[in-house]
Structure 1
Amino acid sequence: MKTTENTLRVHSIESFGTHDGPGIRMVIFLQGCKLKCAYCHNPDTIDTHGGQDHTIESLVMRAVNMKSYFGEFGGVTVSGGEPLLQSKELIHFFQRLKEEGIHTNVDTNGRLLNHFVEELLDKYTDLVMLDIKHMREEGYQMITGMKNKETTFNFAKHREASGKPMWLRYVLIPGITNKPELLHEMGTYFKDYKTIEKIEIQPYHTLGVHKWENLGWDYQLKDARENTEAEINDAVEILEQYFKEVKVN
């Protein structure tokens, strides 16, 4: 991935996002990810050589032009792909956004925690949305194709120590991640975190399957079905025992 300090490698931009953080948001989907999650609905963001370069100043000006729509709670969210692959460049971007009084949010899988990421999180990131793939190593590997789920939990510990807000996100897949014992494990693990404002459940869907097919990739969850309303309600009931707010996206 070739970027400079003054550019970001962008897959796409959504001008009026309502599901990627508080309020109305400009959502920038950055290109590149080291994971290949079995349910990824944006697999075209994975390739680190894709996307297009956008200058940071052009993105800042686009956000500034949207400030009247952001209102009190909105702002800019960087998602992906995995945005923290470009953490060095994001430091400059978020610095500029904060100078313009714009709320900043990172939607991440928590795989990276180097000194660039720490500076970005600790100094310039108002909110982190952390994607919890699975509570157990074997499940994490099955979903992501990578080892060591602990990187995500180390990331969460760092954010908690900073005292700054965090939301959790969790994809609910029947027979894989919606098992009651896993939901209780997650709740038990995070119940004492002070920075977690809410957890967002994202029911499994197949809307991205055609993108896998267009890329010539084999979709790994062909046999997975969508959640029933009862399964979603059961998950909410469990998680409400541990978290201040449980939202279904």
Structure 2
Amino acid sequence: MRCRYCHNRDTWGMKDGEVVSVGELMEKIRAVKHFLSGGVTVSGGQPSLQPEFVAELFRACRKEGIHTCLDTNGYVKGMTNPIVDMLEQTDLVMLDIKHMDNDLHRKLTYVGNERVLDFARYLQEINKPTWIRYVVVEGYTTDPVYAEQLAEFIAPMDNIEKVELLPYHSLGKHKWDLMKDIYELEEVTPPSEELLRDLQRIFLNKGIQAIY
């Protein structure tokens, strides 16, 4: 995915960053374990690009009694053994569903939403506790019709604990500037509280907890 509003534009390079081992990360985690009120969340970039590493890290965390959370866009090519193993070691999934309309999903992220929706269905199949995250961005996801479509999609899923409505912001724009890339949503403003409340009501009316 190449989300137009991505606030981690600097993570797109697959050969950039620092190479670390699970052991090195666990040393850092143990050093602050006393202060961890929730647990460990692996985000990104996209953690599903390194499922073997995430599975090993989460396995080590769980041995220490540390809750594990996967923050993902769900764009995976099938439920391969590494993906299945990663999910088996995951206590909670925070899944971004960018858009229910495939054409608009492609316009927003440059890829279709088929893999994401299949991933969501698999999480339902294995009854994995999941939070759905839905970014509210003017010109893409503010139409109530799209929220209705998302609510209808997840309403039958018993594993969905809640929906988080995330107001669009441009706090990551400076990273696009650093990468000498064009940030196309510069003129887009954050949604109003009234709009967020209206979208929240759509989910609540279908018995789905929704917060913003």
TM-score interval, normalised by the smaller of the two chains: over 0.9
TM-score by length of 1: 0.81
Q: Which runs of 5+ in 1 are unaligned?
A: 1-34
Q: Residue 127 of structure 1: which of 89, 92, 103 is its match?
A: 92
Q: Output the amino acid matched with 2:104.
A: G
Secondary structure of the corresponding residue to residue 95 of structure 1: helix
Q: Residue 188 of structure 1: which of 129, 152, 155 is its match?
A: 152
* Greater displacement, 58-67 / 123-132: 58-67
Q: Deviations over 1:9-58 (max 9, x none)?
A: xxxxxxxxxxxxxxxxxxxxxxxxxx110000110011111110112112
- Structure 2 residue 197 is matched with structure 1 residue 240: no
Q: Residue 63 of structure 1: which of 23, 26, 29 is its match?
A: 29
Give me the CA root mean square deviation.
1.2
TM-score by length of 2: 0.95
Secondary structure of the corresponding residue to residue 122 of structure 2: helix
Hey, what's the Cα distance between the residues in 2 that align with 1:50 and 1:237? 42
Structure with the bigger percentage of helix: 2
**Alignment-derived partner of residue 110 in structure 1:** 74
After TM superposition, the runs of 4+ consecutive aligned structure 1 residues lying more than 6 A away are: none
Q: Residue 137 of structure 1: which of 102, 117, 130 is its match?
A: 102
Q: Output the amino acid matched with 1:181.
A: V
Hey, what's the Cα distance between the residues in 1 that align with 2:211 and 2:186? 26
Tell me by how many angstroms 1:67 deviates: 2.2
**Alignment-derived partner of residue 9 in structure 2:** 43
Tell me by how many angstroms 1:243 deviates: 4.7
Structure with the bigger percentage of strand: 1
Q: Which runs of 5+ in 2 are unaligned?
A: none
Hey, what's the Cα distance between the residues in 1 that align with 2:138 and 2:162? 22
Tell me by how many angstroms 1:94 deviates: 1.2
Hey, what's the Cα distance between the residues in 1 that align with 2:6 and 2:161? 25
Q: Output the amino acid matched with 1:221.
A: L
Identity %: 35
Tell me by how many angstroms 1:210 deviates: 1.7
**Alignment-derived partner of residue 12 in structure 1:** none
Secondary structure of the corresponding residue to residue 130 of structure 1: strand
**Alignment-derived partner of residue 205 in structure 1:** 169
Number of aligned residue pairs: give it.
210
